[in-house]
Amino acid sequence: MAIIGVSALILVAMVVAVTVGVTVSRHKGKSGGEQTSTSTKAIQSICQPTDYKKTCEDNLSKVASNVTDPKELVKAGFQVAIDQLREVIKNSTTLKELAKDPRANQALQNCKELLEYAIDDLGDSFDKLGPFDFTKLDAYVEDLKVWLSAAMTYEQTCLDGFENTTGDAGEKMRQFLKTSQELTSNGLAMVSEVSTLFKALNIKTGRRLLQAAATATDEKRLDLATATPLTLKPDVVVSKKGDGKYKTINEALKDIPKNNEVKVFVIYVKEGVYDEHVFFNKHMTNVMLIGDGPTKTVVTGRKNYADGTQTYQTATVAVVGDYFIAKDVGFENTAGAIGHQAVALRVQSDLSIFYNCNMDGYQDTLYTQTHRQFYRDCTISGTIDFIFGDAAAVFQNCKMIVRKPLEPGLHGDSPR
């Protein structure tokens, strides 16, 4: 499963492209051999800060050897990705035959989903970068750190799913991901050093502080502190009593425009307990979920690890689409301490906001999985690891309530 590393390789190719582009411009008219040497030196230089230098140099040389045109470097990186995708399809078939254990089979399915998210992240990073604007380099670096860190998280979460499973599927997946993990780690190291690299080339860059988050909030034109269902004029209303368009939240999801960028799509969920598992997929962007209060509008579920569900899939509500907002809503998992890992809310949404919300559970209540997240005036309850994940998350004026776990001897060890 070298696909993640290959995607990271595309990122590396971009960084090398800039390096080569700048360096070659100082050597126009020189021979092809000297240009090849320039490309090789650029690769060696950019691989210097990585933990896996040989992996870095060997793979970059395949796409960057004798190439000095930045666009051609990137195209070569995409070609490698295409080739590896074909190989992944073959490997996935082999792993499916090995995943006889039910949990291993779940882990394999999760891996496919997780690795697709990683590919999306790195693909989006390439698309959003566009032509290099050196005055915005700092902004690029911060974004890329977030996206690459997310890719690394998805890789590791994939492997974690094979813990306590039988058969060889887990070990095979670990072997497939070895090079990918090394390349992704290298990509993150390169991005961390890229500012230093450009400073060495005397290229001035701009600065920013939470610029992306501020811009996203401004574009929404929402005052969350005063926003109500009445002032927001919701696009769809959900009510268990039947005085809305739908009686369940899942029914309302079909009305969300795919890859919405025009305006915030507002779903008003009236007071009630909604016993359903809700998944806002990656295409459900710029969505706002607003209720009548975190103890009045509650989404509840009870999936848990003890009953055989992987932690990643136990979430009552999972949010993947970017720019998600929730206000005055409660999210809970009622499996209890005996259920071990039982997630109430899992969030991957980049630049997401949760305002005056409750997340109630026991173990693993709030899974802040990846990207940038902001929580204001929220209450989170649980026992063990009840806030966990790898997101860049900010909690402002939030309350964390530690609940009493099971008595000693009843809980036992529960794997992550």
Give catalytic residues, as residue numbers: 385
Angle at 126 between CA 125 and CA 130, to 5 degrees: 110
Instruction: Please state whether beta strands 392-396 and 372-376 pair in parallel, antiparallel, or not at all (unpaired).
Output: parallel
- For residue 381, the cross-strand partners are 360, 401
**97-108 burial: b if 16+ Cβ within 10 Å, else e:** ebbebebbbbbb
Strands (E), 270-402: 272-275, 278-280, 287-290, 297-301, 317-319, 325-327, 330-333, 345-347, 352-355, 358-360, 366-368, 372-376, 379-382, 387-388, 392-396, 399-402
User: What are the φ/ψ torsions at residue 331 (nearest 5 degrees)?
Assistant: -120, 130
Quote the longest CA-to-CA distance of the chain.
Answer: 77
User: Strand order in 278-280's β-sheet?
Assistant: 278-280, 317-319, 345-347, 366-368, 387-388
With CA atoms as reference, report the closest residue to 288 among 346, 372, 343, 217: 217
- Cα 200 to its chain centre, rounded Å, is 32
Spatial separation of the C-alpha atoms in residues 351 and 252, rounded to whole Å? 23
Per residue, what are the HEC states of 180-225? HHHHHHHHHHHHHHHHHHHHHCCCCCCCCCCHHHHHHHHHHCCCCC
Q: If you ran DSSP here, which 8-state letter would residue 313 be given? A: G
With CA atoms as reference, report the closest residue to 214 among 139, 151, 144, 282: 139
Question: Which tokens in the block code for residue 165?
Answer: 């499973």
Instruction: Please state whether beta strands 379-382 and 358-360 pair in parallel, antiparallel, or not at all (unpaired).
Output: parallel
